[in-house]
Structure 1
């Protein structure tokens, strides 16, 4: 099972298209995601790419296909649209005990650049298809298989969502995205995505398709289709985790795992995907009563990440992995508020440059605060310490090579220890929170009033509801910090 990874110190914390953030599973919409756009009875994906007609009964066609490729489903589970939180899902026909096998997917049934019908070409052209995201080979495989009338994966595609109705914020009008999600970090993440997708398409993907017109017809030479498939891979692909001894290697490429991507997601999940040499196995992690839905997870993700990469959120307070960001430059801005003299300002920037050299801060970085922990504890502790220490102490600290372990442990920063911080540290943190709260278009009380009024909440569009949940969860964490620093 994936564990929560601390955010890279100098990244913005907003993943542009790149290796999927999850290692355990994709998602649909969670319980209580009211008014979610309905999913089509079977996918329009193949037809959108010029493929064949849809199966009369997509589930029956998929189950028949599972038998042909050796994908073993337990008789205790059923693929269904009934009893699931959204779209297709998997439901327990009988009660399931922890450790029971729910299904096993042979590696030959996985859809990847290696298993697709143009795998040889993709391997030969591997250098041409290299990109920052690392996704291009899989996306080329999907573009080809979707248009192929006799693709072995056609029954699998029939359970995909309709590509034209994906609800990632990248498909929202820009005005709506900014109006609803300002302050959450999502608009900035989407902007980066769209730039990267466009650049990747015109620099790599389109030239490759034009070089192989016999394999990629005009129907798939579309930036919009490519963008839709990027969103699909973002939400539905899996990434096999590296072994501990391989952690310095590049992440594994994403791949599509039939059956596993049918499961909906919950932070409080009841199933987990396990990898072995020949099969990928979905195993129950706790008891699942008869008639209950089977949920997978793909790690611990905040609501802003869920809506950005998957197009849904978990309503407050269900997502126990939710976080709020304080941009690193916001802490610098808060520290500058109290500076009156030019000499003080120059000294503060000297401190900031020192923190940059220590790789504790960056211009696009963020401090990440969870509901129960500070995920960037070392970075935030060191930043508060350096920005708040007296000038003479900073000079000594700056020239001290052995500043590390004991000092960091002595000033360990946790949620519960925040009230015990030095007054200057608490004030700087409080000022930073107040500046962060100003970036939202609404305050906590406004959001709270709507959430507590069922009638008013029901009148919101689905996107408005999802965005409200993202904002509210972040603001609750930030207001908790305000209370702790008062």
Structure 2
């Protein structure tokens, strides 16, 4: 999290809970370097870690033994979770950990009670799932977050009714619907979103398969590691070894500086959706914006004659059949899904003859552009040089995307209401925390779109 974002000072009970947690760390042999300390004062969020002394690159800041990690296998209910493994399977692989957390968080005898007691109310995480639907739909319009949250809440409710409740009834000695409610389950989902870690699989050399493995590996709660906040320009990183997990400095850290981990290359909309915070604009170098492929289709309609509309319909149908309908992602340096955008632009700009050949050959037998050429063509430097019809398609799709945001009634950056608030410190400070975070997301995305308009203007 960014140091500019501060939260209200916490109650006196926080000091007690933090001291109890640190005592527990000693008991489970979690070793903390003498050069750092955990605190709830002077940090970016509720808790954080500060440097007592100057730290060099490559120093171990703390070591967490595997035995101190909370996951389904280390929980008291591991036997039940193993027995019901098939029933607990889900796309996210989160349900076993959530079942373990439901029990451990409410059990006075839990081994992890001093750790889990640090969070007396998970709603303080303030994910958009805890906002009202009206707040989400108004403040986050156009960002993609409202749809993602609606999907999350639907999945959580279905998971709870279809999987969790039946198991509670079957194993009433561990769980009770009166204690382990849908509300608590939803809050624990936010907790796992914000604080869990997933262990990478380093045995697979194929990058794409690696990503799939990482995405499907079960999450786990790593005490102390989750105390560190996130910024894009982080100074520490978590390393996995067979016996322990180690937080290691990746660059020098000065005395008094906050120690920041990284949650990965996360855009502000992802940070807000999954973690409940944003980096102040323009600090997040990983910010991105999605342009729906349907907006390229609509842009193509605007530059297509009536005689060619039926051909355009065929092209759109084929793109959907090819599953080339996922959003096109742009970042500060250009298109991040350049191969997909290249396909969309090529298909929409084909002549009738070219499209006929394309259909007969069922795609390109051998593309004359390699991946590096495509990435360069659709980069920030390459976009002004693309052919005219591609520029028109990108420009039109960008305009349509901009119109989807709150208060976006024009295409000019200079008279954008969000820009005016961002540049007016007094006006910005009058916004509540949700309004400020939503503004960081909206204006970060719109800034990328405004630059894209400039790069592709006729």
TM range (shorter): over 0.9
Q: Is 1:88 the equivalent of 2:73?
A: no
Residues 373-384 of structure 1: pairs in structure 2 closer than 5 A: 373-384=334-345
Distance change (3 Å), C-alpha of 1:76 and 1:305: same
- Partner residue in 2 for 1:447: 418
Runs of 4+ in 1 over 6 A off after TM superposition: none
Q: Is the 8 A contact 2:165 2:177 kept in 1?
A: no
**1:121 matches 2:102:** no
The corresponding residue for 1:197 is 156
> Would you say the 8 A contact 1:168–1:309 is kept in 2?
yes
2:245 and 2:138 map into 1 onto residues whose CA distance is 42
Aligned residue number for residue 232 of structure 1: 191
Offset of residue 37 of structure 1: 5.7
Is 1:473 matched up with 2:444? yes
Task: Specify which structure has the bigger relative contact order, considering alpha-carbon pairs within 8 angstroms and separated by 6 or more residues.
Answer: 1
Residues 42 and 158 in structure 1, CA contact (< 8 A), matched pair in contact too: no
Show the 5 A alignment for 1:5-84. Answer: 29-33=1-5, 36=7, 57-84=16-43
Q: Does structure 2 retain, via aligned residues, the 8 Å contact 1:83–1:292?
A: no
Which whole-Å CA distance do the structure 2 matches of 1:180 and 1:368 have between them? 21
- SS, match of residue 369 in structure 2: helix
SS in 1 for 2:330: strand
Q: 1:406: Cα distance to partner?
A: 2.4
Q: Select 1:407's aligned residue among 345, 369, 392.
A: 369
Q: String of CA shifts for 1:264-315, please: whole Å, max 9, x gaps.
A: 1111000000001110000000001111110000110111111111111101
Indicate the SS of the match to 1:102: strand
Where in structure 2 are the equivalents of 1:111-260 lying within 5 Å? Answer: 111-160=70-119, 162-245=121-204, 247=210, 249=213, 251-260=216-225
Change (3 A) 1:427 1:77: same
User: TM-score when scaled to structure 2?
Assistant: 0.92
Corresponding residue number in structure 1 for 2:455 = 484
Query: C-alpha displacement at 1:446, in angstroms?
Result: 0.7
Asked if 1 retains the 8 angstrom alpha-carbon contact of 2:61 and 2:248, the reply is yes
| 1:298 aligns to 2:259 (yes or no) | no
Deviation at 1:404, TM superposition (A): 3.7
Residue in structure 2 matched with residue 99 of structure 1 by the alignment: 58
Which residue matches 1:326?
Answer: 291
Structure 2 CA distance for aligned equivalents of residues 37 and 403 of structure 1: 60
**Structure 2: gaps (5+ residues):** none
Q: In the TM superposition, what is the alpha-carbon distance from 1:131 to its structure 2 partner?
A: 2.1
2:310 alignment partner, one of 321, 340, 346: 346
Q: Which consecutive unaligned segments of at least 5 residues does structure 1 have? A: 1-28, 44-55
TM normalised by structure 1 equals 0.87
Q: Output one character per residue of 1:162-201: Cα deviation in whole Å (capped at 9) or x when no partner.
A: 2232311111111111110000011010110110000000
User: Which deviations, in whole Å up to 9, do the C-alpha atoms of 1:361-385 show, x marking residues without a partner?
Assistant: 22xx210000113110000111111
Whole-Å separation in 2 of the counterparts to 1:37 and 1:334: 47
8 A Cα contact 1:39 1:161, kept in partner: no
- TM-superposed CA distance for 1:455, in Å, is 0.7
Distance 1:282-1:303 versus aligned 2 partners, 3 A rule? same
Distance change in 2, residues 1:146/1:42 (3 Å) = farther
CA distance in 1 between partners of 2:186 and 2:241 (Å): 32
Question: How many angstroms does 1:393 deviate by?
Answer: 1.8
Residue 327 of structure 1: CA displacement? 0.6
Q: In structure 2, the residue corresponding to 1:407 is in which secondary structure?
A: coil
Q: Contact 2:230–2:260 (CA<8 Å) still a contact in 1?
A: yes
For residues 39 and 399 of structure 2, what CA distance do their matches in structure 1 show?
Answer: 47
